[in-house]
Amino acid sequence: MQQRIDILDSTLRDGAQAEGISFSVEDKLKIVKALDELGIPYIEAGNPGSNPKDIEFFERIKTIPLRHARLTAFGSTRRRDTRVEEDKNIQSLVSAGTTVVTIFGKAWDFHVTEIIKTTLEENLKMVSETVAYLKNLGREVIFDAEHFFDGYKSNPGYAFKVLEAAAEGGADCLVLCDTNGGCFPSEVYEIVKKVRETFDIKIGIHTHNDGGMAVANSIMAVEAGAEHVQGTYTGFGERCGNANLSTIIPNLQIKKGLYCIPGENMKNLTFTARKISEIANISLNRREPYVGSSAFAHKGGMHIDGVCKATSSFEHIDPELVGNKRRFLMSEVSGRNTILEKIREINPSIGKDSEETHAIIQKLKELEHQGYQFEGAESSFELIIRKELGKYKPFFELEKFKLMTEKPDRGTNSASALIKVKVDGVSEITAAEGNGPVNALDRALRKALEVFYPELSNVHLTDFKVRVIDSKSATAAKVRVLIESTDGETSWSTVGVSTDIIEASWIALVDSIEFKLLKDLEKKIKAYL
């Protein structure tokens, strides 16, 4: 039977402590649904006694059925010199109504005496009495031994006494926390192994990434006997973040043969990472292992040639296992095979020496000479291929647009755009304001086209980059605009080049919308067939 590793996701609690992250109640509900659909068994949903937002969340989540996940409320042990029955935070945990509760307590003697200002003996009572109280109420109790590794290195005897106190209280799982994130994998392995040999209770691991080793430390803890792993799904968290579960899960399940989530859901790993990042309003790191857009991207000609002959030559797994895809990047070092692979995605019958291939290569050279770069804008390059192959039909026609700008006032839009487009002979004219002319143009264009293509309401830009190509020309220099767009499920990048930044932006915007509509049309045709 496949060994099971219990995964606890703390995106809603530890992840919410990351700089730049602020979840609304609606955001939290969406993330719970996404994690539940993926098959995460435990979701740490926050501290119900800490703020009104979490109180509202715990009330609303009660009405939402979950298929895989069990919610856990999170909180501290009772306060010093306070009866557990009278501790307001403990009562908030109880009132949250979750079947699982995560309790954290101090495992470092320095924190006990200098931070919470109590005695070592009182701290042990705080741990054991809190755990026992919740167990007597029928809760599953996960005990997070905060600062355990620093505590062990400072005073191993006392750190073990804290675990003993939790075990005596009836804890179901003892989680060893590298709260400062400074441990090395070798240290984690040896210490977890000693704990595993001492306690006949499920052992867990909770690591932070301050030393860049949170994932490695989590894996080594499992190697040493841990059966419970905590982290956040895309790795964000306080300071440098938490252990990244989107990396840990495939490492354990695909590489080590352990069970983390239902096997059929592994193909949803990338989609879930993008969805949670979208909800959090952050860009998913393209270099993220397994789920990043660059995880299976190949640029060097020799690498591409190798992958074309045998994918395992430069890929450690099949990207489809985690719902990602292979990408061959367009660049001066990628070679003809890269271009041919992209062409064959559209027309498999075209050969390496065909006229179409030569024409597309020549077009690519011309555009690169003008300043285009398709390494990070494969969507624009796909549209170019379709145009050269006669497999492109525009979804709309621009009749005119007019931009008006004024000196920006703080807190107000500084530009407006008037635009007129035509779709299948029907014209639509509309206007929009924006924070600058490009933003106004983007809003106006999508507003006009949503009349014909409602699906565009879900599309927005996630990144906008401007690069001056020939700086010696000063204000007359060419600029390259690269934009990244998303519909909440997938992301794509497009590029435009011109001496006019508005025109360059317009080219990239049009490509972005055309690409989205093209892919939606292909999905509809595929579903119909």
Residues 350 and 425 in one domain: no
The per-residue pLDDT for 222 is 98
User: Residues 290-302: pLDDT tens digits?
Assistant: 999 889 988 766 7
* Token couple for 109: 């003697």
* Residues sharing a CB contact under 8 Å with residue 330, sequence separation 6 or more, in sequence order: 338, 339, 342, 364, 373, 374, 375, 378, 381
Q: How confident is the model at residue 9 (pLDDT cuts 50, 70, 90)?
A: very high
Residues 76 and 161 in one domain: yes
Q: For residue 380, which of 514, 479, 502, 487 has the smallest C-alpha distance? A: 514
Residues 229 and 307 in one domain: no
The per-residue pLDDT for 336 is 65
- DSSP lists the bridge partners of residue 207 as 178
* Token couple for 342: 């992209």
Q: What's the domain count of the chain?
A: 4
CA–CA separation, 248 and 243 (whole Å): 8
User: Residues 25-35: pLDDT tens digits?
Assistant: 999 999 999 99
68 within a domain of the structure (yes/no) = yes
Whether 209 has a pLDDT exceeding 60, the answer reads: yes
Residues 301 and 209 in one domain: no
Residues 156 and 303 in one domain: no
Residues 106 and 249 in one domain: yes
For residue 121, how far is the Cα from the chain centroid? 42
286 within a domain of the structure (yes/no) = no
Q: For residue 163, which of 133, 131, 140 has the smallest C-alpha distance? A: 131
Q: For 153-157, 392-396, 458-462, 500-504, which range has the lowest pLDDT when averaged over its residues?
A: 458-462
CA–CA separation, 453 and 421 (whole Å): 12
329 within a domain of the structure (yes/no) = yes
The CA distances from residue 426 to 45, 141, 396, in Å, are 49, 63, 10
User: Residues 33-77: pLDDT tens digits?
Assistant: 999 999 999 999 888 866 788 888 998 998 899 999 999 999 999
The per-residue pLDDT for 476 is 67
Residues 438 and 510 in one domain: no
Q: For residue 85, which of 93, 46, 142, 146 has the smallest C-alpha distance? A: 93
The per-residue pLDDT for 369 is 82
Residues 12 and 153 in one domain: yes
* Token couple for 218: 């989590």
Residues 120 and 221 in one domain: yes
- DSSP lists the bridge partners of residue 208 as 242
285 within a domain of the structure (yes/no) = no
- Cβ-count burial of 340 within 10 angstroms (0-12 exposed, 13-18 middle, 19+ buried)? buried
364 within a domain of the structure (yes/no) = yes
User: Residues 307-334: pLDDT tens digits?
Assistant: 878 888 999 999 999 999 887 776 544 5
Domain hosting 428: range is 396-449
